[in-house]
A and B are shown apart, each in its own frame.
Chain A
Amino acid sequence: MTITESVTISNVETQIVAAERVTAGYPHKIVWRDASFGFGRGEFVAIIGPNGAGKTTLFRLLLGLQQPISGTIRIFNETPKRGNPRIGYVPQRHVIDSETNIEGMELVHLAYCGHLWGFHITSKEGRKAALDALDAVGASDLARKPLCDLSGGELQRVFLAEALVSSPDILLLDEPMSNLDIRRSRELVQLIDRVVQTRSVTALLVAHDINPILPYLDKIVYIANGKVAIGRPKEVLTSERLSALYDVHVEVIRDSKGNVAIIGMEDQEHNHNTHGDE
């Protein structure tokens, strides 16, 4: 099959990620199977589901750290490969040692030039990129502060700047809210939404609690029991849809404020906050 260049470019513009009948996991253990989905430019997508359902696996596929068992997955119309500067990544349980007395600026700067060999004492360009990234997440005041002195929310903003410093087209954020209280979670989500809007970046965010992000979402990916459901939040988060997909009785309950609770899956702890090692 030949694809003309113009088609390729227009595909890149609209479709950032395209997966066709992907089965993912490890040779001895399939995590989820037969999933097809696509994410467009500037979409804010939440990936939710019980622990161990394979949310991080999706990121590993996109980062080129893992290959699909079958099916095809494309990012920017290419097979995922490691070290793609167009991807910004904030890993899960991103803890900083309490003794890491290194300022935020240095971490963000390394995300810009840390893959380059050799020595560079002062790179104006790199420092400017780092400062711009910190500025974009409202963290200019954290540039000179040691990472070990930052609060959970401040740390997540620095990590977001670290992911943004290479001017990516897609952000992969793995449970950035897991150590934050409700208020800080909402602040972080608003910030991510602003980044998505202003830079027209696609953001995929793995979350344990859907509620703080729900108002901002374009799409939801629900991964559980080896299956992947995708669509607009209103389409996916219905009792009928989830019950049919998972073949068990699932109930989606909404309260007067629009908060959602999903009941009936093996792991019902959607409002439960996982705390990292404190």
Chain B
Amino acid sequence: MAFDPNLLIDLQQMFQYQFMQHAFEAGTLVAIIAGIVGYFVVLRRSSFAAHSLSHIGFAGAAGAVLMGISPVFGLLLFTSVGGIGMTILGPRASHRDVQIGTVLAFMLGLGVLFISLYTGYATEAYSILFGEILGISVMDVVITAIAALAILVIVAIVYRPLLFASLDEDVAEAKGLHMHMLGIIFMLLVAFATSIAVQVVGVLLIFSLMVTPAAIAQRLANQPWRGILISIIVSLTVTWMGLFIAFYEPYPVSFFITTIVFVLYLLTRFAYPLIRPQTIHKTGAHQTH
């Protein structure tokens, strides 16, 4: 397939293929969800939890493949159980690293067992690890849509309490918010979001959609709703661009996504401060915290 300078023709070409349509549908849903949930992940400094949940999902996906069902079911089940387990083991978000690590190691061990039991092709394991959006089925798109809708509804309901608890745990607790319940809801959101995002970028590259776009957004916006909006825009842009380029180039979609998002991150990290509009850095206020 040859790239045409006229993008409309390119898009027409691309969408003649059903696998590209499915990839764009699922990719769009995943990008929106990852952008939203990722914002909370970054705000709560829970990227290790997100990373671990996706790896726990690896065991679930491998188990599902072993049983001959779609990996996304295994992902959803394992990440949900894993997320709840982590929260129960360590009730306060700030010191949960050890508990997460403990659960993570055990689950990865299970994943290794399932992979070794599975006698089929190694490509299955490969696609779980690095994503295989171009091979996504209608069924997977439907499941993705349902999970995405569930996440949107939950976020809409818990938006303010979750934001408050993420920003100021102690005061939120004193105000009567149930930290434990919010912690579990948050982990379930991450579980659902990673489960569907794994299809696009795979277990190992989950950060590129769940963390990096939100990290970019937090540098650019200092109001949560704006941050979430930017986070969504960034993850959508990189997902679409990745799919678009991968249609013409013989390299994996997830490689393009991770690379583009990394370049954007570097730009916001190093180029943006130079052109940053207002004089936020007052001279007197340089005490660090």
Contacts and interface: CB of A to CB of B under 8 A. Distances in A.
Interface in A116-174: 116-121, 144-146, 148-152, 154-155, 162-163
A5 B280 CA distance: 54
A103 interface: yes
B160 A117 contact: yes
Give the interface SS of chain B, mostly helix, strand, loop or mixed. Answer: helix
B289 A101 contact: no
A111 B171 contact: yes
Nearest to B163: A110
Contacts, number: 115
B156 interface: yes
Interface string B163-174: 111011011111
Interface stretch (B110-118, B204-212, B216-224, B258-266): B216-224
A113 B222 contact: no
Contacts of A150: 285
A221 to B, nearest CB: 20
A114 B163 contact: yes
A170 B221 CA distance: 34
A63 interface: yes
Contact of B222 (A63, A87, A101, A118): A101
Contacts of B160: 110, 113-120
B95 interface: no
Given A114-B164, A115-B176, A97 B219 contact: no
A155 B168 CA distance: 13
B1 interface: no
A97 B46 CA distance: 13
A145 B163 contact: no
A116 B157 CA distance: 9
B97 to A, nearest CB: 16
B159 interface: yes
A100 interface: yes
B164 A110 contact: yes
Contacts of B289: 95-98, 148, 152, 155, 179, 278
Which bucket holds chain A's interface residue count?
35 or more
Nearest to B160: A114
A118 B175 contact: no
Interface string A61-96: 001010000000000000000111101011100111
A83 B175 CA distance: 4
A151 B284 contact: yes
A98 B288 contact: yes
Interface of B: 43, 45, 156-161, 163-165, 167-168, 170-177, 218-219, 221-225, 227, 280-282, 284-289
Q: What 7 pairs between A and B have smallest CB-CB spacing?
A: A83-B176, A114-B164, A91-B170, A110-B164, A151-B287, A82-B176, A89-B174
Given A82-B174, A110-B168, 10 more contacts: A82-B173, A100-B43, A102-B43, A111-B171, A113-B160, A114-B172, A114-B175, A115-B172, A116-B161, A151-B284
25 contacts: A82-B173, A82-B174, A82-B176, A83-B175, A85-B175, A89-B170, A99-B218, A102-B167, A102-B222, A102-B227, A106-B167, A106-B223, A106-B224, A110-B164, A111-B168, A114-B172, A114-B175, A118-B156, A118-B160, A119-B157, A121-B225, A145-B280, A149-B280, A149-B282, A152-B289
